[in-house]
Amino acid sequence: MVEEIGTTVEGDVLINVGPQHPATHGVLNLLLTINGETIKKVEPHLGFIHRSIEKMCESLTYRQFIYVTSRMDYLSAHINNHACALVVEKGLQVEIPSRAKVIRVLMDELTRIASHELWWGAMAMDLGAFTPFFHAFRERESINDIMEETCGARLTMNYIVPGGVMYDLHPDFQKRVKDFITLYKLKIHEYDEMVTGNIIFQNRMKGVGYLSAEDAISYGCTGPTARGSGVSCDIRKLYPYEVYDQLDFDEILETGCDSFARYMVRIREMNQSIRIIEQLIDTIPEGDFQAKTKAVLKLPKGEFYQRVETARGEFGVYIVSEGGNTPYRIKFRSPGFSNLSALDQMARGSKLGDLVAMMGTLDLVIPDIDR
Partner 1 sequence: MLSFSDISKFIDSWLRDIFNPTWTMVIEMMIAGVCVIGLFAVLGLVLVLMERKVAAWIQIRLGPNRVGPKGMLQSLADTVKLLVKEGMTPDGADKFLFNFAPFIAMMVAMLLMAPIAFAKDFQLWDMNIGVLYFSAISSIMVISILMAGWASNNKYSLMGAMRSGAQIVSYELSAGLSILAIVVLSGSLNLNDIILSQADGWWIFKGHIPVIISFIIFIIAVTAETNRAPFDLAEAESELTAGFHTEYSGMKFALFFLAEYINVFIVCAIGATLFLGGWMPFHIGHWDAFNHVMDYIPSSVWFFGKTFFLIFLIMWFRWTFPRLRIDQLLNLEWRFLLPISMFNILLVTLMAILGWHF
Partner 2 sequence: MFIIKYIKEVFSGLKSLAVGLRRTLYYFTHHKEIITEQYPDNRETLKLSDRFKGEVVMLHDENNEHACTGCTACELACPNATIKIITQFDITPEGKKKKALDKFVYHLELCTMCNLCIVACPTDAIKMAQTFEHSVYDRSELTKILNKPGSHIRAGVE
Give Rg (Cα) of the chain.
21
Residue 300 binding: pick among partner 2, partner 1, none (C-beta 5-8 Å cut-off by kind): none
Q: To the nearest whole angstrom, how small is the minimum distance from the Cβ of residue 148 to partner 2?
A: 5
Of 128 and 323, the one with the shorter C-beta distance to partner 1 is 128
Establish if 51 lies at the interface with partner 2 (CB under 8 A): no
Establish if 41 lies at the interface with partner 2 (CB under 8 A): no
Q: To the nearest whole angstrom, how small is the minimum distance from the Cβ of residue 118 to partner 2?
A: 16
Strands ordered across the beta sheet of 38-45: 13-17, 29-35, 38-45
DSSP states of 41-103: EEEEE--TT---HHHHHHTS-TTTHHHHHTTTSGGGHHHHHHHHHHHHHHHHTPPPPHHHHHH
Q: To the nearest whole angstrom, how small is the minimum distance from the Cβ of residue 358 to partner 1?
A: 12
Q: Give me the helix-helix angle, 173-191 and 98-126, nearest 10°.
A: 30
Single-letter residue type at 87: V
Residue 130 binding: pick among partner 1, partner 2, none (C-beta 5-8 Å cut-off by kind): partner 1
Establish if 291 lies at the interface with partner 2 (CB under 8 A): no
Contact pattern for partner 1 over residues 200 through 219, marking x by CB under 8 A? xx-xx---------------
Establish if 186 lies at the interface with partner 2 (CB under 8 A): no
Q: To the nearest whole angstrom, how small is the minimum distance from the Cβ of residue 143 to partner 1?
A: 17
- For residue 8, give the 3-state DSSP assignment: coil
- For residue 275, give the 3-state DSSP assignment: helix
Identify which range of 51-59, 127-135, 231-239, 286-294 contacts partner 1 by CB under 8 A: 127-135
Residue 67 binding: pick among partner 2, partner 1, none (C-beta 5-8 Å cut-off by kind): partner 2
Of 54 and 141, the one with the shorter C-beta distance to partner 2 is 141
**Phi, psi angle pair for 127, to nearest 5°:** -85, 5
Decide: 70 and 157 in contact? Cβ < 8 Å: yes
Residue 22 binding: pick among partner 1, partner 2, none (C-beta 5-8 Å cut-off by kind): partner 1
Interface with partner 1 (CB under 8 A), residue from 89, 108, 139, 354: 354
Cβ partners under 8 Å of residue 244, min gap 6: 105, 236, 237
CA geometry: angle 104, 108, 112, nearest 5 deg: 175
My answer on whether omega of the bond before 19 falls inside 30° of 0, hence cis, is: yes
From the number of C-beta atoms within 10 Å of its C-beta (0-12, 13-18, 19+), residue 54 rates as middle
What is the separation of C-alpha 181 from the centre of its chain, rounded to a whole number of angstroms? 21
Q: To the nearest whole angstrom, how small is the minimum distance from the Cβ of residue 8 to partner 2?
A: 39
- Dist CA 360 CA 271 (whole Å): 20
Residue 166 binding: pick among partner 2, partner 1, none (C-beta 5-8 Å cut-off by kind): partner 2
Of 203 and 246, the one with the shorter C-beta distance to partner 1 is 203
Decide: 123 and 360 in contact? Cβ < 8 Å: yes
Interface with partner 1 (CB under 8 A), residue from 157, 195, 280, 340: 195
**End-to-end Cα, the chain, rounded Å:** 44
Interacting residues with partner 2 between 56 and 85 (CB under 8 A): 60, 63-65, 67-68
From the number of C-beta atoms within 10 Å of its C-beta (0-12, 13-18, 19+), residue 328 rates as middle
Interface with partner 1 (CB under 8 A), residue from 130, 175, 187, 197: 130
Interface with partner 2 (CB under 8 A), residue from 193, 248, 282, 286: 193
Establish if 345 lies at the interface with partner 2 (CB under 8 A): no
Interacting residues with partner 1 between 293 and 352 (CB under 8 A): 351-352
Residues interacting with partner 1, by CB under 8 A? 13, 15, 21-23, 37, 124-131, 133-135, 138, 194-195, 198, 200-201, 203-204, 351-356
Residues interacting with partner 2, by CB under 8 A? 60, 63-65, 67-68, 131, 138, 141, 148-153, 156, 158, 161, 166-167, 170, 190, 193-195, 197-200, 202
